[in-house]
Structure 1
Amino acid sequence: MRTQEDLHDEDDDFDRPSKSQLKRESHVLQSLGEDLLTLPASRLEPLTLPEILLDALRMAKKITSHEGRRRQMQYIGKLMRRVDPEPIRQAVAAYKLGHAKDSLALHESEAWRERLLADDNALQSFIAEHAGIDVQQLRSLVRAARKDAANEPEKRSGRAFRELFQFIKTERLRVNPATEGESAEDADEDEQA
């Protein structure tokens, strides 16, 4: 027969999270660990992660086998239980935002190139928005790109298009450096690693 004390002990069992809840939390941490793998080493340093977790992340980057990688990610999820996930979430979000900004800046530069090639009025708009621009160089690049575009597709070199794009991108970053994310620096660091 159950005593009052036994019933009280059973109530204490329900105060802890269920096994399903623990698994859900573990999957969230494992997913966050996968996001950590996308960060370059320069972004991991300020997070002050335990050395064992950093070693596990380095090992996961080297593993190519599907099953081996899955098990390593489970291990990373287990190790992540010992760290505060909030700074990691913030670092991953900031990194992804930087990539999104870079992508947007490239798309805007491409759009400007298309507008400059299609419309003479776009040239004046671009010059007005980007004070201090080398107008003569811009006009010569636009002229060369238009001349190249007039050629038959197999005779186009594409060099003028690329040079115009690079000029536009450089000028946009010079005028508005906020559009430049940190991912360009991170890409350089990843190549060196």
Structure 2
Amino acid sequence: MSHDFVDEAEFFSKSQRKREMHALQEIGQQMLALNSQQQAQLPISDDMRAALIEARRIHSNEAQRRHLQYIGKLMRAEDVEQIQRTLQAFDPTSRLHQQHFHQLEQWRDRLLTDTEQAFEQWLALHPQTDRQTLRQLIRNAHKEADQGKPPASARKLFRYLRELSPLTSSPP
């Protein structure tokens, strides 16, 4: 009586496969919860992007459940770790998001105090920046500070930096 033994390292129980599939579906749900601008930043394939767009169109609960299973199936071909890092960066409670937020605050403060050197460094790291807009926001923030007004322009500057900065910008 001969038995072909399966290498235990390659053996996955049906329960294990189901847990993995549910985990991929959970990631899919997290991606669906993002707004379209955040979804555009996800490192995913065109097929996955199309599936996420299609999911927004579906209203039937059963159809949504089946489509989520399809998204889970597509997730097998994706770089799940990279997607999870990106999702974590969108989560305001995550360490990565908070670190990015603090880096942007440091950039804003440097741009307001050490203007020219910080300005050139920012442009070197973010060439898509509109120089004129950035200078105007800095100038308005200085004017408000000199007049003792609330820092509305400093907040606008921060929002502008956040729009321009990828999730993993280098620290100042």
- TM-score normalised by L of structure 2: 0.55
In structure 2, what is the equivalent of residue 143 of structure 1? none
Identical-residue share of aligned pairs (%):
32
- What residue is the counterpart of 1:27 in the other structure? 22
Aligned-partner residue type, residue 73 of structure 1: L
**1:16 deviation in Å?**
1.7
C-alpha RMSD over aligned residues: 3.5
Highest Rg: 1 or 2?
Answer: 1
Distance 1:133 1:63, change over 3 A: farther
User: Which residue of the partner structure matches residue 55 of structure 1?
Assistant: 50
- Correspondence for 2:33: 38
What is the deviation of 1:90?
1.1
1:75 aligns with 2:70: yes
| Distance verdict in 2 for CA 1:86–1:133, change over 3 Å | farther
Which structure has more RCO (C-alpha within 8 Å, separation ≥ 6)? 1
With over 3 angstroms needed to count, the CA separation of the structure-2 counterparts of 1:48 and 1:88, relative to structure 1, is closer
In structure 2, list runs of 5 or more residues that go unmatched. 99-143, 164-172
Taking the aligned partners of 2:9 and 2:156, their CA distance within structure 1 comes to 60
Q: Which of structure 1's runs of 4+ aligned residues deviate more than 6 A?
A: 98-101
Q: Which has the higher helix share?
A: 1
Q: 1:24 to 1:172 in 2, by over 3 A?
A: same
Deviations 1:14-46 (A, max 9, x none): 732111111101101101011111233333344
* TM norm structure 1: 0.49
Q: Distance in 2 between matches of 1:50 and 1:34?
A: 16
